[in-house]
Amino acid sequence: MSTTHDDGPLAARVRHVEALLEERGWLADGELDARIDAFAAGGSPANGAAIVARAWVDPGFRERLLADASTAIEELGMSMAAGLQVQPLVAVANTADEHHVVVCTLCSCYPVALLGPSPTWYKSEAYRSRVVRDPRGVLREFGLELPDAVHITVWDASAETRYMVVPRRPEGTDDLSEQELAGLVTRKGLIGTAAV
């Protein structure tokens, strides 16, 4: 038995399915690899940060983002397409009274195109199970202490729907450009485990 993934039984099945798709004309030769490479190369927290910064400076965009995030991000040249599948995106906005945090309790579903590769802690069983039961305690461990009056909503991502948090815009940032605002947004802020 081989120890490399390229020679393993799963890789052989994937190559077989890919060959069938190409044979039937559903995929061009090498198209799947090209799409995967493009998807992986374009995924970055900078994408999510640009979306948030636009929402902070453009109330109309913010409204469209919260109503239909998958369509709104296309205005910025972004997409939730992953290979051959489009994953719906839901954007949720933090307010003074409500804080949102994202988890995938079953695995690690996550908007890679907008946030880059998921952090190790996001995939850990400890985070996935505890943030649902004790979100305030988990956020405290991340250094985010929220007042008791703030309601915390935990969003469970899945293969069907991905979530992204729109953090609250920091006070005193009225004079910053959209690009400078984007520089304030972190991946943890986009997941909801940190404030901006």
Range of the domain at 109: 43-191
Whether residues 82 and 173 share a domain: the answer is: yes
The tokens describing 73, both together, are 């991000």
Active site residues: 104, 107-109
- Quick one: CA torsion of 144, 183, 105, 84, rounded to 10 degrees? 170
For residue range 31-49, list pLDDT tens digits in order: 766 665 655 556 789 999 9
Whether residues 47 and 111 share a domain: the answer is: yes
Count of H-run helices and E-run strands, the chain: 11, 6
Q: Is 61 inside any structural domain?
A: yes
Counting the structural domains of the chain, the total is 2
Whether residues 87 and 29 share a domain: the answer is: no
Predicted pLDDT of residue 30: 73
Predicted pLDDT of residue 78: 92
Does residue 148 have a pLDDT over 60? yes
Look at the block and give the residue holding tokens 């009225």. Answer: 174
Does residue 179 have a pLDDT over 50? yes
Does residue 3 have a pLDDT over 50? no
Q: Is 118 inside any structural domain?
A: yes
Whether residues 69 and 105 share a domain: the answer is: yes
Whether residues 76 and 19 share a domain: the answer is: no
Q: Is 106 inside any structural domain?
A: yes
C-alpha span between 62 and 70 (Å, rounded): 13
Predicted pLDDT of residue 164: 97
Does residue 182 have a pLDDT over 90? yes
Predicted pLDDT of residue 116: 87
Whether residues 26 and 66 share a domain: the answer is: no
For residue range 83-99, list pLDDT tens digits in order: 556 679 999 999 999 99
Are 109 and 88 in contact, with CB atoms under 8 Å apart? Answer: no
Predicted pLDDT of residue 4: 39
Whether residues 74 and 161 share a domain: the answer is: yes
64's CB contacts (< 8 A; 6+ apart) are: 71, 72, 75
Average pLDDT over residues 59-84: 90
Average pLDDT over residues 25-30: 78
Q: Is 196 inside any structural domain?
A: no
